[in-house]
Structure 1
Amino acid sequence: MSETRYRSNYALVEFSEHLGDDEDDLDVPWAEFVGDRSTEHEFSVPVEGAIDGYVTVQALDVGTYGHEILVNGESLSGFDIPPGEGWQCWMDVMAGVDLRKGENTIQVRRDTDADDSFVVGTLRVTWREPIE
C-alpha cells in the first residue's frame, strides 16, 4: 500500500474593496466601497481531498480585531485580520472549514460593533492536494 503524496496549490482572489461605515473614511478611489461585507468571490479547487488550507490576506489600515473571513459561508477561527497601520499581510489557518472540489467562496465581514474602515486587497487561499 503506497502513502498518499501531496502538492501545494493556491488561488489568488482580488478584492480591492473598502469596508466601513462611511465611504469618505479612507482616500482609496481605486477600491470599491462595499459597506459591512465584501463581495462573495469564488475560487476553484481542482481535486477532492484538499487539506491544510490557509488564507493570506493583504489589508490596509485595519483598526480593530473582530473582522471575519468566511470560506464557504463558515467563519475561520481566531483573529482573522489583526489591527495594523498601512498595508499588512496576515495568515489565518482554515480550522473547521473544508474546501471542496470545484467552486468555493470567500468573503470578508466587517465587525459592525467597531468604528473601523479598511481595505481588503488580495487574498491567497493555499491548500495541499493529493497527487493522483
Structure 2
Amino acid sequence: MDEQRYRSNYALVEFSEHLGTDPDALDIPWAEFVGDESTERVFRVPVEGAVDGYVTIQAFDVGTYGHEVLINGEALSGFDLPPAAGWQCWMDVLTGATLRAGENAIQIRRDTESGDDFAVGTVRVNWREPTSDVDSI
C-alpha cells in the first residue's frame, strides 16, 4: 500500500501596512496607513489537498488582543496577534480556515473596540502539499 507523501511549501505576502486610528501614531514611514483592515492580498497554492497550514506574521507594536487574520474571508480561531512592544514574529495555525488550490486571500483586521495602532510587515503562509514519488526524488 502506497503512503501519501508530502512536501512543504509557502508563500511570502508583503503588507507593509499600518492599521489603527491615527496615521501619525507610529513612526514607520515605510508602512501605508490603511485604517481598520489591511489590503486583501492574494497568494497561490499550486495543488489540491494542502494540509497543516499556518501563518508567521511579522508585526510591530501590537498593543491588544482581538485583532484577526482572515484566510479566504474566514477568521482564524483563537487570538491571532498577541500584544508585544516593538517587532515580533508570531505563528498561528490555520484553524477555522482552509487553503484551496489556486488563489487564496489573506487579510488582517484590527479590533475596532481598541485604540490600537500597529503595523504588519511580511506574512509567510506555510502548508504541506501532496506530492508524487517522482516529485520527491
TM-score by length of 1: 0.99
Tell me what 2:84 maps to: 84
User: Structure 1: where are the runs of 5+ without partners?
Assistant: none
Cα distance, 1:97 vs structure 2: 1.1
Deviation string for 1:11-48 (max 9, x for gaps)?
00000000000101111111000000000000000000
What is the one-letter code of the residue matched to 2:128?
Answer: R
- Work out whether 1:18 is the aligned partner of 2:15: no
Amino acid at match of 2:66: G
Structure 1 match to 2:121? 121
Distance 1:114 1:94 in 2: 24
**Offset, 1:68:** 0.2
Aligned residues: 132
**In structure 1, C-alpha distance between the alignment counterparts of 2:64 and 2:75, rounded to whole Å:** 17
Q: CA RMSD in A?
A: 0.5
- CA–CA distance in structure 2, aligned partners of residues 21 and 125 of structure 1: 27
Counterpart position of 1:37: 37
Partner of 1:60 in structure 2? 60
Letter in 1 for 2:108: V
- Give the aligned partner of residue 96 of structure 2: 96
Partner of 1:96: helix, strand, or coil? coil
Shift of 1:102: 0.3
Residues 59-89 of structure 1: CA deviation (Å, up to 9, x unaligned): 0000000000000000001110000000000
- Structure 2: which 5+ runs fail to align? 133-137
| Structure 1 residue 96: Cα displacement | 2.2
Higher gyration radius (CA): 2
Equivalent in the alignment of 1:47: 47
Report the Cα distance in structure 2 between the residues aligned to 1:97 and 1:19, rounded to whole angstroms.
22
In 1, Cα distance between equivalents of 2:111 and 2:15:
18
Q: How much identity, in percent, do the aligned residues show?
A: 73
